[in-house]
Chain A
Amino acid sequence: MTMHEEIIFAGFGGQGVLFGGQLLAYTALAEEKHVTWIPSYGPEMRGGTANCTVVVSDDPIGSPVCRNPSIVITFNNPSLEKYESLIKPGGLLVVNESLIVEPPTRTDIDVVLLPATTLATELGDTKMTNMILLGALLGRRPVVAMETVQAVLLDKLGSRKAHLHELNLAALARGQEIGLAQNTEQAV
């Protein structure tokens, strides 16, 4: 069975939504998979809606857009309201529980709920929200290997941002841990 995942990262501008998707895309390339990354956002730099679609596949990719993604990470409540109903049955929804009003209700998809903004603040930087959510996604569904993500991330941050290495890795690990812990289905 060849791997083909259509993944949407959705939230507000300024939450690291686009970079979260880019990190996954760079990692997919490092693992020699086929990948496309497309952003969708308004003219605002911060505060407007921001989302991106990442397609990762073992095969060459035709459409870089999809109606029904197999995986969605929602960073805020409007994104959860918009995307919950669109996920393919059997797909995965990763929810930033810190910024939602009502929890998701679908029972035909996997759901990982975690208060990513709160956890990021606890780690020392709210900007780690995206890394925590990406970690949770990979804990639940290892589309790419965590080791590759770590290596690519450190490479992208470079020595100029060496002081952020540990924090980013800790955020990924925290998310992964929760993703794995909530991975009841595969544990059975």
Chain B
Amino acid sequence: MTIELLKGNVALAEAAIRAGVEAYFGYPITPQTELLEHMAKRMPELGRAFVQAESEVAAINMVYGAACTGVRTMTSSSSPGISLMQEGLSYIAGSEVPAVIVDIMRGGPGLGNIQPSQSDYFQVTRSAGHGDYHPIVLAPASVQEAIDLMTEAFDLADKYRHVVYVVADGLLGQMMEPAELPPMQPLRKERAGWALTGSEGREKRIITSLQLNAPDLEAVNLRLQFKLAEIRKREQRSTEMLTENVRLVVVGYGTAGRIAETAVKRAREDGMKVGLFRPITLWPFPERRLSALADQVDAFLVVEMNAGQMLDDVRLAAGGQVPVSFVGRMGGVVPVPEEIYDKIEEIYVKLPVRVR
């Protein structure tokens, strides 16, 4: 294995290929298009399925169909395209088939622009479409982490038969950084016991999200909620830097998280007791660890490239124990470390004296 200079979008595509994706469906949209482009080249080369669909609505429904046959399948898009996929995602979650979705977020609302943003946090974590569920959401902060999480996304999707998002902003999609790809995994030969493989010689199987009888649909929902509770228990992930004996913890994910890292390091150099907490799973949100930190520090500062969406989850985790402040930029503007540093300093000098 060698370390190469890889663009985020290309790295995500190649990582998915090496994780054994057998069918890709997508529709071009900046700043995600290099992912689709790489798939267009590589998938046919490998004898796997690549379809450029006529729209995002078509693409997600093709993913749904492929997922029902038990193959590893995915699509990728950017914010407005993800909005179009909501209905299909809900059907996938309701049918409990595994699918992986990449969202390279751009500025919104509406057509917005093609610059980096994290404004899909609500859209991806709260649900994907209608109905009572959360998808699993993974948020890399570097090209290497994008590769690692892309691989893991397929395992999680299979394990829980659920929708798994890998979300990054346009900056990570477009960024080149040294990273190492994993070896190619062999394609799975056998299909899961629920998959639609042709019913000749066996009992037919039905995959559907339609349950006209209310108690039946409630039973589906109960099973789904049980599964989500398991995911919440087992799959919370985060990383942190210098969070021991600090007064303030900065919380940021993805690109905002790594920009905050630079600001935190500078604040430490200037004598401020500050650390960084970076969620890797946005759902399940790493609330256990953050709640534990709330017992040890005096304040949280949330950094996002939106108006403050993860902020809600940090407040819930903080449980009113510590004040939670926010700094962010919107509309495709990427914050620089200096403005995060300024906010850290502003909060730090006013930190309440806390008696323990």
**A38 close to chain B: CB less than 8 A:** yes
Q: By the criterion CB–CB under 8 Å, are A36 and B337 in contact?
A: no
Q: Are B30 and A65 in contact (CB under 8 A)?
A: no
Query: Residue B54 at the A interface, CB < 8 A?
Result: no
Our pick among A26, A61, A65 for the contact of B334 (Cβ within 8 Å) is A65
Find chain B residues with CB under 8 A from A37 CB: 5, 175-177
Interface residues as binary, B144-185 with A (CB distance below 8 Å gives 1, 0 otherwise): 000000000000000000000000000100111110000000
**Does A62 lie within 8 Å of B178, measured CB to CB?**
no
A13 within 8 A of B: no
Q: Please report the C-alpha to C-alpha distance between residue A62 and residue B339 in the assembled complex, in whole angstroms.
A: 15
Chain B count of residues within 8 A CB distance of the other chain? 24
Check B259 against A63 for contact (C-beta < 8 Å): yes
B contact residues around A62 at 8 Å (CB) = 258-262, 265, 337
The answer to whether A65 touches B259, judged by C-beta atoms less than 8 angstroms apart, is: yes
Say yes or no for A165: interface residue by CB 8 A criterion.
no
Interface contact A36-B175, CB-CB below 8 Å: yes
Kindly supply a per-residue 1/0 record for chain A positions 9-25, scoring 1 wherever the CB is within 8 Å of any chain B CB and 0 otherwise. Answer: 00000000000001001
B222 within 8 A of A: no
Q: Please, how many angstroms separate the alpha-carbon atoms of A180 and B218 in the complex?
A: 75
Q: Determine whether the beta carbon of A64 is less than 8 Å from that of B258.
A: yes
CA distance A35 to B176 in the complex (A): 8
Main secondary structure of the interface of B (DSSP, over half): helix
Pair A29/B265 contact, Cβ less than 8 Å = no
* Residues of B with C-beta under 8 A to A64: 171, 175, 177, 255, 258-259
Contact of B336 among A22, A43, A63 (CB under 8 A): A63
Cα–Cα, bound, A68→B338 (Å): 9
Interface flags, A42-71, vs B, CB<8A=1, else 0:
010000000000000000011111111000
**Counting CB contacts under 8 A, is A127 at the interface?**
no
Which B residues lie within 8 Å of A29 (CB)?
3-5, 178
**With A43-B114, A62-B262, A63-B337 as contacts: A36 and B177 at CB distance below 8 Å:** yes
B336 in contact with A39 (CB, 8 Å): no
The interface residues of chain B lying within 8 Å CB-to-CB of A35 are 5, 177-178
B259 touches A25 (CB 8 A): no
In the complex, are the beta carbons of B5 and A43 less than 8 A apart? Answer: no
For residue A34, CB closer than 8 A to chain B, the reply is yes
Residues of B within 8 A of A65 (CB): 171, 259, 334, 336-337
Shortest Cβ distance from A54 into B: residue: B176
Contacts of B177 in A (CB 8 A): 35-37, 61, 64
Minimal Cβ-Cβ distance residue in A for B334 = A65
A158 to B30, CA, bound (A): 29
* A64 → chain B closest CB, angstroms: 6
Contact B261 A63, beta carbon cutoff 8 Å: yes
- State the Cβ distance, A120 to closest chain B Cβ, in Å: 25
- CA–CA, A146 to B258, complex, Å? 30
Find chain B residues with CB under 8 A from A61 CB.
177, 258
What CA separation (Å) do A66 and B337 show in the bound complex? 7
Task: Return the chain B residue nearest A21 by Cβ.
Answer: B176
Tell me the chain B residues, 333-350 only, with Cβ under 8 Å from chain A: 334, 336-339
In the complex, A29 Cα to B260 Cα: how many Å? 24
Question: Distance in Å from the Cβ of B7 to the closest Cβ of chain A?
Answer: 9
Residue of A nearest to B31 (CB): A39
Provided the pairs A22-B176, A43-B30, A67-B336 are in contact, do residues A38 and B258 lie with their beta carbons within 8 angstroms? no
A41 to chain B, nearest CB (A): 9
Q: Report how far A67 CA is from B342 CA in the complex, Å.
A: 13
Closest Cβ neighbor of B143 among chain A residues: A36
Q: Is the CB of B174 within 8 A of A38?
A: yes
| B-to-A contact residues, CB < 8 Å | 3-5, 30, 114, 171, 174-178, 255, 258-263, 265, 334, 336-339
Report 27 cross-chain contacts, Cβ distance below 8 Å, ordered by A residue: A25-B5, A26-B5, A29-B4, A29-B5, A29-B178, A36-B175, A36-B176, A38-B171, A38-B175, A43-B114, A61-B258, A62-B258, A62-B259, A62-B261, A62-B265, A62-B337, A63-B262, A63-B336, A64-B171, A64-B175, A64-B255, A64-B258, A65-B259, A65-B336, A66-B337, A67-B336, A68-B338
* A residues with CB within 8 A of B: 22, 25-26, 29, 34-39, 43, 61-68
- Given A63-B262, A65-B337: 7 more A-B contacts, CB < 8 Å: A29-B4, A39-B174, A62-B259, A62-B260, A65-B334, A67-B337, A67-B338
